[in-house]
Amino acid sequence: MSDVIQVFEHTALPVGGHFTSARFDRLVRYNERHGNQFFDVGHNRLHFRNYVGVIQVGNLTIEILPKADKTPESSAQKQKWQRALVEMLRQSGFIRLATISDARLRLRSCSLLDIYFESFLAEVEDLVHHGLVRKYRQTRGNLPALKGRLLFQQHLSRNLVHRERFFTEHVFYDRNNQFNQLLRVALDVLSRVSANPHLAAVARSLLLSFQDVDEIVVTERSFAQLPHTRNTERYRRALQLARLIILNYSPDVRSGREDILAILFDMNSLFERFVYAQLKHAEARQTSHKIRFKAQTSRRFWTADRMRKSIRPDILAEIGGGSQCERVVLDTKWKIPGDGRPADSDLHQMHSYNVQFGAPRSLLLYPRVSTQTDLSGTFNRAEPPHDGFKHSCGMLFVELFDGDKLRRDLGEHIITKLALP
């Protein structure tokens, strides 16, 4: 069984106990291969950032939990935030918990990785039960019987002596396609890395249904190029889970015992997706108001020669219809203002959203903690521009050095540029 360590985001994990120096070094190398984005490295300790989720190295599982409040760490707090994270992942569509009971979710021994694996296995079991998708595929081969189209040049070069064989190009209609190949790779990874004997056994059992499916080398492009159709739409959730399992798996080719699997989510993006899912559910249920929510709506913000810049609020709400439609911009923030005031940069951003989208209102959405109360404020009226007023913005690049020394006329140079029409 796996040893489990639970920590919160923006905290540190020192080397000690089950978190050995060897595992610390493995995680440092893993983080370096991923652009040092998941955590900062200190002296014999990891400083976690805004990524939450789970990391398994060998038989050690490290759960990184979100935490918005400032209550002291405790076992109860960790269980509370683990359940909160699982629910956010469920409502955001990352995992399915229909087959996992509430009692099981409350078990301290049930790690986040086990919940994730169970969700993936449930999806694959459902696909196997209803039948794996079959597709046409074209292949070439030297066969003992004429099947398909005979390729004369290859046939003559290969079968001049073996006249009983035929080199042909023929079509198969079977389960050996990229959709099933990706699921097989994910099942194979799970069967080898899971520290839960039951889940590993289920994965090995499901692999028996994929014996006629080839093993392939998987990259990010393998998922991006999948030709989804109405017949393969039922694969979408299983492949989403398989993608995270495969692409975040890092085998230890030297020992084979300290493989790494890290399934991590940017908490800022997860919170945004969770809030949007909640709003879409509310949109479908409400009847008294005509309201629609849109995610990641872009609007052109700045244009220059061969360059364009757009702004994109997290969520755009449209209330009412026609000429009476009112827009409200919503921006999610997984951070708590220390003094109860929004950051200047956030207010600048919201001001731009209001102007570009013609929204009379905008809201910054934070998780509520302690006794913080809602706040409503207005932007001051700007100086009204004259008719024909146009905005512009440019880029000025200045040379800092004269030879190997800093220029003495830098200020004058900038003033000259500003004085040009």
Q: Which residues pair with 304 in a beta bridge?
A: 307
**Residue 362 phi, psi dihedral angles, 5° rounding:** -150, 155
pLDDT score for 99: 45
pLDDT score for 108: 38
pLDDT score for 420: 65
Q: Which residues pair with 260 in a beta bridge?
A: 57, 250
pLDDT score for 102: 44
Distance CA(367)–CA(176), nearest Å, equals 47
- Burial code (b: 16+ CB inside 10 Å, e: under 16) for 3-39 equals ebebbbbeeebeeeeebeeebbebbeebbeeeeeebb
pLDDT score for 9: 94
Distance CA(199)–CA(109), nearest Å, equals 14
Strands across the sheet containing 260-266: 3-8, 60-65, 51-57, 260-266, 249-250
CA 154 to mean position of chain CA atoms: 46
pLDDT score for 147: 66
Q: Is 388 left (phi over 0), alpha (psi -120 to 50) or beta?
A: left
The Cα-based distances of 145 to 140, 149, 152 in angstroms read 13, 11, 15
Residues 189, 191, 196, 202, CA torsion sign? positive
**Residue 12 phi, psi dihedral angles, 5° rounding:** -115, 150
Exposed/middle/buried for 189, CB within 10 Å: 0-12, 13-18, 19+? buried
Name the segment(s) of the chain with CATH classification 3.90.320.10: 268-365
pLDDT score for 126: 92
pTM of the model: 0.79
Tally of CA atoms within 13 A in the half-sphere of 271 that contains its CB: 21
* Helix%, strand%, coil% for the chain, nearest 5: 35, 25, 40
Looking at this protein, which amino acid is placed at residue 55? I
Distance CA(283)–CA(318), nearest Å, equals 11
Residues 6+ apart with CB under 8 A from 308: 300, 302
Distance CA(318)–CA(67), nearest Å, equals 31
Which three-class secondary structure state does DSSP give residue 109? coil
Q: DSSP character for 94?
A: S
Residue of 185, 171, 173 whose CA lies nearest to 222: 185
Q: Which CATH number fits domain 268-365: 3.40.309.10, 3.50.50.60, 3.40.50.300, 3.90.320.10?
A: 3.90.320.10
CA 219 to mean position of chain CA atoms: 15
pLDDT by residue for the chain (421 residues), tens digit each?
568 899 999 999 999 999 999 999 999 999 998 889 999 999 999 999 999 999 999 889 999 999 887 788 888 889 888 888 888 888 888 876 654 444 444 443 467 888 889 889 999 999 999 999 887 766 766 766 666 666 667 766 777 666 667 667 656 667 888 899 999 999 999 998 888 888 999 999 999 999 989 888 988 888 888 888 888 889 988 998 999 899 888 776 554 456 889 999 999 999 999 999 999 988 888 766 688 899 988 888 888 888 888 999 999 998 887 778 888 899 999 988 877 788 899 999 999 998 888 888 899 989 877 667 788 888 887 776 666 767 677 777 788 778 777 777 878 777 777 766 5
Distance CA(13)–CA(7), nearest Å, equals 7
pLDDT score for 54: 92
